[in-house]
């Protein structure tokens, strides 16, 4: 059974290393230095972990950390955000991402969510659409290979 386990500030480097590994393939594909989490410094992860609105969780299956999800939830009526969500390469296509979203929605509420993902990554778009998210029409062109698209639920 999958569970979400809160990540503490003392685990910033571990989650940062996991994030770099998880997003390396996308960086190689799109060369999006400004937006790819694999390119972020450790300090960015530490900053996120220190935000009171941030809830960063390991995605754990059978006592193994298979990924992580960060939920930004200000508890003020503004949309909650998923940013980032990642699964370690060896654990992809096993349903962990959708299970993690379901668990996050159990904790933070099932409605009023938003996120951005890569339009060219059909698997990511399919995941979010399967989970009830809909494209808003807001896009950001990062480069000639990559466009970010907003989803809401």
Q: What is the CATH number of the domain that holds 37?
A: 3.40.630.30
Quick: pLDDT tens for 3-22: 999 999 999 999 999 999 99
In a domain, 128, yes or no: no
Does 78 reside within a domain? yes
DSSP string, 46-92: HHHHH-TTEEEEEEEETTEEEEEEEEE--SSSSPEEEEEEEE-GGGT
137 within some domain: no
Asked if residue 144 belongs to a domain, the reply is no
Let me know if residue 73 belongs to a domain.
yes
Q: Report how far apart, in Å, the C-alpha atoms of 122 and of each of 20, 47, 126 are.
A: 21, 30, 6
Indicate the burial class of 141 (C-beta count within 10 angstroms; 0-12, 13-18, 19 or more): exposed
Whether 147 maps to a domain, the answer reads: no
Percent of the chain with pLDDT over 90: 99
Count of domains observed in the chain: 1
Per-residue pLDDT of 133-148, as tens digits, reads 999 999 999 999 999 9
Instruction: Give a yes or no: residue 21 inside a domain.
Output: yes
**What pLDDT, in 10s, does the model give residues 41-88?**
999 999 999 999 999 999 999 999 999 999 999 999 999 999 999 999
Is 133 inside any structural domain?
A: no
Give pTM, 2 decimals: 0.95
pLDDT at 1: 87
* Domain coverage including residue 71: 2-110
Closest CA to 85 of 64, 51, 115: 115
Identify whether the C-beta of residue 20 lies closer than 8 Å to the C-beta of residue 77. no
């Amino acid at each position: 059974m999958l569970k979400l386990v809160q990540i503490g500030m003392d685990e910033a480097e571990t989650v940062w290393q996991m994030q770099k590994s998880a997003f390396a393939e996308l960086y190689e594909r799109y060369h999006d230095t400004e937006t790819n989490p694999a390119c972020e410094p450790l300090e960015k992860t530490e900053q996120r972990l220190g935000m009171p609105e941030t809830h960063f969780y390991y995605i754990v299956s059978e006592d193994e950390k298979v990924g992580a999800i960060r939920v930004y939830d200000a508890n003020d009526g503004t949309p909650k955000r998923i940013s980032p969500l990642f699964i370690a390469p060896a654990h992809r296509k096993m349903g962990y991402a959708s299970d993690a979203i379901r668990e996050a929605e159990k904790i933070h509420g099932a409605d009023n969510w938003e996120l951005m993902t890569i339009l060219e990554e059909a698997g990511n778009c399919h995941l979010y659409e399967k989970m009830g998210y809909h494209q808003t029409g807001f896009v950001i062109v990062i480069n000639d290979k990559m466009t970010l698209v907003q989803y809401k639920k």
